[in-house]
Amino acid sequence: MPETDLPARIETLLHAMPPVAALQPRLAELDDTRCCLQAPLAANINDKGCAFGGSLVSLMTLAGWGLVTAWLERRGIKAEVYVADSLVKYRAPLYDDLDARAVFAEAIDADVVLNELAQGRRVSFQVLADVRRGDGRVATSMDSRYVAVVPDEIGPE
């Protein structure tokens, strides 16, 4: 897939899921080291006038998913990517638009990943994400593990 098509594909996948589309996410940045998703506060507001916790976690989870999915697709790997587990910390209320940033926790060895997936094994990716307030302080952070699996080639079409 041409590099220019990848961000559009990721954004299309996001908007194809009705609960995600309701967040009104926008892909702001996508490369091999970072995925940034933005969403308006107005679509993600709670009864206190700040960002809804579920929206914060959802946007960070989706940013991590986008990072791992894009990293794999850039290497020609068609894999299913799932969030396996995560630890979320709510640090401060957010009264600004949501801006979730996800990065890999450590460098990825592409040869190891390709070899593991080629042998039908699952591969884990540790991802750190956060949403910052307008003053730069972290409002919410998340440490997650994503798993990639190559779908079984034999099955219904």
Per-residue pLDDT of 89-133, as tens digits, reads 999 999 999 999 999 999 999 999 999 998 989 999 999 999 999
Does residue 9 form part of some domain?
yes
Residues 6 or more apart in contact with residue 80 via CB below 8 angstroms: 148, 149, 150, 151
Report the pLDDT value the prediction gives residue 15, as an integer from 0 to 100.
86
Report the pLDDT value the prediction gives residue 132, as an integer from 0 to 100.
96
Report the pLDDT value the prediction gives residue 4, as an integer from 0 to 100.
64
CATH number of the structural domain spanning residue 60: 3.10.129.10
Does residue 80 form part of some domain?
yes
Report the pLDDT value the prediction gives residue 35, as an integer from 0 to 100.
97
Contact 99, 34 (CB under 8 A): no
Does residue 142 form part of some domain?
yes
Does residue 154 form part of some domain?
no
Segments of the chain with pLDDT less than 50: 1, 153-157
Total domains in the fold of the chain: 1
Domain of residue 143: give its range. Answer: 5-149
Does residue 155 form part of some domain?
no
Report the pLDDT value the prediction gives residue 154, as an integer from 0 to 100.
32
* Short-list 33, 81, 83, 80, CA closest to 58: 83
